Structure 1
Amino acid sequence: MSEQHALFDPLLQDLSDRSRDEVLAAFSAVQYAAHPVAEVQLAGLRDVTLRRQVQRMLKLIGRTLVHVDGTHWTAGYDDDIAASLVAQGWQPLSVVDRAVLVLVLIHSVAIPRSEGILTGDSWKSARPTTVDELRTTRISGEERRLALQRLRAAGLIQLSGDHSGGPSYIPGPQLQRLTPAARRRLQDQLILAAAPASPIAEAIRARNGVPVSTTTGGDA
């Protein structure tokens, strides 16, 4: 990270050596760790003043702190930066990879949430997506296999702990990097696609100001 020090020097120059080291350690952890980092592990996250410095550093590179489960931290794209990248057509995943990822998220998160089995807005799920469920798509077996490998390597999906019925998949740790607003938008879209007639889908449409269509039993 030495090449970035010039960018961060104005933020770090007034800190003591110890505080600077703690801020840099926290910055590196939330930026590069595969999983969210426990707040108790790093002074740069525990201390509100030092954490504010970490947030300022992240802002300089278009990132922001993301609180996970109330006890952990990671870093993700700032909402405005993410919107700008999308508007410019930035899309790091191929069509096939996106399709497979969406299937995993629908089966592991959206459907259980629409049925009231999964609550909150976490990506943690005890309902893994099986290979059989992925076979119902029009994606070829080889395309699916390669997509699953790429998504696992990117941390967007992971193998579930139960392999008794063959490999199955749940959301990966990189999804924890989504900000609350981005997470809510994606989860709403998944629920609307997976269970459009569910009560939770109706609540989403109402919250977004989308009229709910009704059917009457009278004459047309």
Structure 2
Amino acid sequence: MSRHPLFDQVLGQLSDRHREQVEAAFALLEHSNEPVHRQHLPALEDANARAGLAELLRRTGRTLVAVDGGLHWTSGYDDAVVAELTEAGWQPLPEIDRAVLVLVLVHSVAIPRSEEQLAADAWLSPYPTPTAEILRRSKLPTTEAKAALSRLTATGLIKLARGGDTDGGYVPGPQLLRLTPAARERLQDQLILCAAPDHPLAAAIRDRRRQLPKG
């Protein structure tokens, strides 16, 4: 299999060992379903290898994203790339899927956070949204809503949580851990404004946005 010339352009100055580490880390970060434990990413331990990995990701519109304070790592879209794609009107999810995803995030993340049951930056939630609640709230035909749940689960944006103290349901999936800190904050803010517009958190978000410079 031929190698993409970008690898030679970015990694050409690295030693063979460090280059192998960077290429392995790039593959793991981009293709693993879950964030990768740092012990499996030796490229992060060497300054030159880490710089090569960061540059390789940057050249493909991606960036390193720390999870669990850096114990695990993944990759995600660079914030500048997200801004360009958004301005161009790019939207990878159909409207039905977006509506169902928002319902899961509101009930599993935003409402618990507004009730101070989740940390401000938490995406792992012990509060699954029951399927019946999704079907009721979405007001979509059952077959369409279930099809959206299947698609979102297949992409890792949500996952099915069974048993425990509840009857189970859907919670955020591992792909949301690919969001950068800035992207997580934007999404969290939008969810709070949607789920609890009269909550003090929502008022604080609106005040903060009013104070941002225009332009």
Per the TM superposition, whether the score is higher than 0.5 is yes
Which structure 2 residues correspond to residues 111-190 of structure 1 after superposition, within 5 A?
111-136=111-136, 137-162=138-163, 166-190=167-191
Q: Which residue does the alignment assign to 1:208?
A: 209
Instruction: Kindly indicate whether the alpha-carbon contact (under 8 Å) linking 1:114 and 1:201 is maintained by their aligned counterparts in 2.
Output: no
What amino acid does structure 1 have at the position aligned with 2:24?
A
Alpha-carbon separation, structure 2, partners of 1:173 and 1:24: 22
> 1:177, CA displacement in angstroms?
0.8
> 1:164, CA displacement in angstroms?
7.7
Aligned length, in residue pairs: 209
Q: Which residue does the alignment assign to 1:11?
A: 10
Alpha-carbon separation, structure 1, partners of 2:200 and 2:165: 33
> 1:3, CA displacement in angstroms?
3.9
Alpha-carbon separation, structure 1, partners of 2:148 and 2:90: 19
- Note the aligned Cα RMSD (angstroms): 1.7
Deviations 1:114-159 (A, max 9, x none): 1111013121101110112112221111001100000001000001
Alpha-carbon separation, structure 1, partners of 2:47 and 2:96: 42
- SS of corresponding position for 2:49: helix
What amino acid does structure 2 have at the position aligned with 1:134?
I
What amino acid does structure 2 have at the position aligned with 1:41?
H
Pair 1:55 & 2:54 matched? yes
Q: Which residue does the alignment assign to 1:110?
A: 110
Alpha-carbon separation, structure 2, partners of 1:135 and 1:23: 44
- SS of corresponding position for 2:63: strand
> 1:11, CA displacement in angstroms?
2.0
Q: Which residue does the alignment assign to 1:101?
A: 101
Seq. identity, %: 52
Which structure 2 residues correspond to residues 65-104 of structure 1 after superposition, within 5 A?
65-70=64-69, 71-104=71-104
Rg (Cα) greater in structure: 1
What amino acid does structure 2 have at the position aligned with 1:57?
L
Stretches (4+) displaced over 4 A: 163-167
Gaps of 5+ in 2: none
Instruction: Kindly indicate whether the alpha-carbon contact (under 8 Å) linking 2:128 and 2:168 is maintained by their aligned counterparts in 1.
Output: no
- TM-score using structure 2 length: 0.92
> 1:87, CA displacement in angstroms?
1.2
